[in-house]
Chains A and B, each alone.
Chain A
Amino acid sequence: MAAEVVAAVINDVELMKASQIGMKAIGAGLAVGLTGIASGIAEMAIGSAAVGATAENKDVFGLVLLLTVIPETIVIFGLVVALLLLF
């Protein structure tokens, strides 16, 4: 009887651990995925303006390429959060 209870409790604990790992993975995935979408939305407007500007004046290419990657910070923070969650 007692042995059965102990086994059940151990089983429960292991299940909880496993589900915690799963939750972490989901959290990490959400962190990267949602921030990725956000960066995409932000870069969309900058990118189209950048292409327009480059069409008018080729010299600004370097600068607008940089402006385009500025919102990438958002997804990088997401990635950092995910990495810290997972490891």
Chain B
Amino acid sequence: MLKPEQMSRLLIVASKDQMAPVISELYRHHLFHIEDFVEAGAQGYEGFKIGTPLSGASEASGDLVKIRTIQNAFSIRSDDFEVKERQNQSALQGLIERELPAIEQEVEDFTGKRSKLDTKVKEYEQKIAEISPFVGIPGDLDLYRGYSNFVVFAGYVAKEVSVPGPHEMFFSKGKGKHFIVVIVPVGQRSVVEGVLQEAGYQAVPIPDESGDPQGRMNFYNEQIVLLKKETVEINRKLDGIKEKHAGFLVACEEILKVQVEKTEAPLRFATTNETFVAEGWVPSVSVETIRPALENATGGKIFFTVLPKDPEHDSVPVEYHNPSFAKPTQMLMDVYSRPKYTELDPTLTLSIVFPLFFGLILGDVGYGLILLAMCLVLRKYLKGEEGTQLLVVLRNASISSIIFGLLFGEFLGFALPWRPVIFSRHLNIGAHATGHGPQIPELMILAIWIGLLHITLGRVFGMINHARQDHGDHRTKAVMANFGWLLVMWGILVMIWSIVQMPYMPDFTKFPPVIMNLNIAAIIGAVMLVTGVLFIARDSGLELVELPTIISHVLSYSRIVAVGLSSVAIAMVVNYISIGMLIEPQLENITITGVLFIILGVAVFVIGQALNLALGILGSGLHSVRLHYVEFFTKFYKGGGKKYNPFGFNRRFTEDL
């Protein structure tokens, strides 16, 4: 809790003939995060070389490429694939050798044919486009070619033209541009060219066809229909192959992926002529599972030791270690940055506080229920790990907003039939709105309190982090500086309390003045402030320019109220327009136009509420996350830890018997 999983650094040394069993044992356990061996400058590894892949590596990767090509052709993605039953690896391995080339050949044939047909269709479409202008002109297409004494002009002009001298001209009017064909004796060529140029002439190539243009076009259209039929047939056959082999293909992909990863693992080890050395990390709790497994697999011919670790200089991979209800929130942490190994992992606080903020902002039973239903439905369709995690986070948030909705007494912007249990957020919108109106000052104070506590927690975490990570003089200074920030914040507060009286805040105005009209509380506050500033300055003077952020960060929490109220306001306005203005007046005296107004009112209600719900989810989610990332994390959190990525893979479609 609040700490990443403890890791141990392992060193495994064995002779090269034990490499294969060691690799497959490590792979099976899926726990060993390999530290890649880099030849250049590796300390203590002088004379070692990067290993060479095990036998069968290039065949396996060749087959993998083939399978992935076929999968692409079929657009099969193993993530979308339901696991029916796990297939036996050794049985499949035989099948890969026998069936894969045949399937590949078949698929290649069909896709090759399909692309040929596609080119043919394109070619014919091009021909149709060339012929189509000539359809309006009487005469066969071969009449346009083959003259030695005449010139044929065919093309588009912007306006009508009159050609001087002997000629034959056909003109078909179009929209904006007209098609023209002019046949003149060769001698007149330049004159006619000049006339046409003036009319904005654009030449059109004369199609290399013979016969009636309409007839040719019909012919090509028929051909295209036939070709398309053939394509459909091929697609149907390909679908048949897909249907038949999809399960086999994803299983093969998995097996080959495993094989490739295993056979290429030596590329990450250090080797000499006869031995290899693998270094890496495993969770400390699992060291004792790996040790006997490796010893069994190699018959004890292995050297296995836990190396001392130096958390600050080693790049220790980080794996979260959280109670199960907080696990989905790790996704929100990964969006920002994974914690470093030595750092506090704030996932747990995030998993509790995020839904609270979300609920406080959205706080509506209706919206909460809709969001909850959406999460439950979407769960069936979203398969990826991140997607499901996000849905669980949203589900928790929606439950929280239902609870806060009950407390605020809100349902889609309507008031529930009881007085708000905490503060009222109902606005007086509409003609017959009465009542108290929202308790804005009280809500604001609530938000400020939340901000103060959240930031204080952040600073306390900051003190812990610095105490853990820093050394010597700097450690004390950094811890004190964080304490200084707390002193300044609370000092300012105490001073404000001694001057102004506020609801739900301590009242120090009653104390008698001591000096300069300031009472004892104000003096204590001032002392806290000055001490705090000194503490901060002792660590780094430059930090002092950040002092105003104390106020802006606390005030930033007022968004919890403001964003929430704006969503209440939109909901109430939608309700007032749709029900108060459109539906209700018509219900008293129903007419045909009245029914139309009622339908309009229902439409406004549905669209408005849907829009507000979308805005509400986006706003509540983003602002809750933002309060964490910007206001909370900046106080203590750096992040940048390396992801724990153990060697191995959770098989879904196959099993190794």
Interface residues of A (CB under 8 A from B): 62-63, 65-66, 69-70, 72-73, 76-77, 79-80, 83-84, 87
Q: Are A83 and B440 in contact (CB under 8 A)?
A: yes
Q: Are B559 and A73 in contact (CB under 8 A)?
A: yes
- The yes or no answer to B336 lying at the interface (CB within 8 A) is yes
Contact A80 to B558, CB < 8 A, known contacts A69-B623, A87-B437:
yes
| Chain B residue with the shortest CB-CB distance to A63 | B335
- Give the contacts of B562-597 with A (CB-CB under 8 A): 562-563, 565-566
In whole Å, how far is A64's beta carbon from the nearest beta carbon of chain B?
A: 10
**Chain B residue total in the interface (Cβ 8 A):** 23
Q: Are B562 and A76 in contact (CB under 8 A)?
A: yes
In whole Å, how far is B515's beta carbon from the nearest beta carbon of chain A?
A: 33
- The yes or no answer to B629 lying at the interface (CB within 8 A) is yes
- A83 proximity list for chain B (CB < 8 A): 438, 440, 561-562, 565
Distance between Cα atoms of A77 and B561 in the complex (Å): 11
- A79 proximity list for chain B (CB < 8 A): 562, 565-566
- Give the contacts of B604-639 with A (CB-CB under 8 A): 622-623, 625-626, 629-630
- The yes or no answer to B556 lying at the interface (CB within 8 A) is yes
In whole Å, how far is A14's beta carbon from the nearest beta carbon of chain B?
A: 21
Q: Are B626 and A66 in contact (CB under 8 A)?
A: yes
In whole Å, how far is B562's beta carbon from the nearest beta carbon of chain A?
A: 4
Q: Which of A62, A70, A80 contacts B630 (CB 8 A)?
A: A70
Q: Are B626 and A69 in contact (CB under 8 A)?
A: yes
Q: Are B562 and A80 in contact (CB under 8 A)?
A: yes
- A62 proximity list for chain B (CB < 8 A): 335
- The yes or no answer to B444 lying at the interface (CB within 8 A) is yes
In whole Å, how far is B595's beta carbon from the nearest beta carbon of chain A?
A: 36
**Apart from A65-B622, A76-B556, A76-B558, what 6 extra A-B contacts exist at CB < 8 Å?**
A66-B626, A72-B559, A73-B556, A77-B555, A80-B562, A83-B561
- A80 proximity list for chain B (CB < 8 A): 444, 555, 558, 561-562
Distance between Cα atoms of A80 and B445 in the complex (Å): 12
Distance between Cα atoms of A70 and B444 in the complex (Å): 20
In whole Å, how far is A29's beta carbon from the nearest beta carbon of chain B?
A: 13
Distance between Cα atoms of A87 and B561 in the complex (Å): 14
Distance between Cα atoms of A83 and B569 in the complex (Å): 11
Interface residues of B (CB under 8 A from A): 335-336, 437-438, 440-441, 444, 552, 555-556, 558-559, 561-563, 565-566, 622-623, 625-626, 629-630
| Chain A residue with the shortest CB-CB distance to B331 | A62
- B336 proximity list for chain A (CB < 8 A): 63
Distance between Cα atoms of A63 and B566 in the complex (Å): 25
In whole Å, how far is B603's beta carbon from the nearest beta carbon of chain A?
A: 27
- A63 proximity list for chain B (CB < 8 A): 335-336
| Chain A residue with the shortest CB-CB distance to B562 | A79
| Chain B residue with the shortest CB-CB distance to A83 | B440
| Chain A residue with the shortest CB-CB distance to B440 | A87
- B558 proximity list for chain A (CB < 8 A): 76-77, 80
Q: Are B565 and A69 in contact (CB under 8 A)?
A: no
| Chain B residue with the shortest CB-CB distance to A62 | B335
Distance between Cα atoms of A87 and B569 in the complex (Å): 14
Distance between Cα atoms of A80 and B444 in the complex (Å): 9
User: Which of A63, A66, A83 has its CB near the most chain B CB atoms (within 10 A)?
Assistant: A83
Q: Are A84 and B622 in contact (CB under 8 A)?
A: no
- A66 proximity list for chain B (CB < 8 A): 335, 622, 625-626, 629
In whole Å, how far is B612's beta carbon from the nearest beta carbon of chain A?
A: 16
- B563 proximity list for chain A (CB < 8 A): 76
- A76 proximity list for chain B (CB < 8 A): 556, 558-559, 562-563
Q: Are A70 and B626 in contact (CB under 8 A)?
A: yes
Closest 4 CB pairs of A and B: A62-B335, A87-B440, A79-B562, A76-B559
Q: Are A84 and B630 in contact (CB under 8 A)?
A: no
- B552 proximity list for chain A (CB < 8 A): 73
Distance between Cα atoms of A87 and B622 in the complex (Å): 27
User: Which of B336, B552, B558, B563 has its CB near the most chain A CB atoms (within 10 A)?
Assistant: B558
**Could you write out 27 A-B pairs with CB less than 8 Å apart?**
A63-B336, A65-B622, A66-B335, A66-B625, A66-B626, A69-B622, A69-B623, A70-B626, A70-B630, A72-B559, A76-B556, A76-B558, A76-B562, A76-B563, A77-B555, A77-B558, A79-B565, A80-B444, A80-B558, A80-B561, A80-B562, A83-B440, A83-B561, A83-B562, A83-B565, A84-B441, A87-B440
Q: Are A84 and B440 in contact (CB under 8 A)?
A: yes
Distance between Cα atoms of A84 and B625 in the complex (Å): 25
In whole Å, how far is B560's beta carbon from the nearest beta carbon of chain A?
A: 10
Distance between Cα atoms of A15 and B438 in the complex (Å): 26
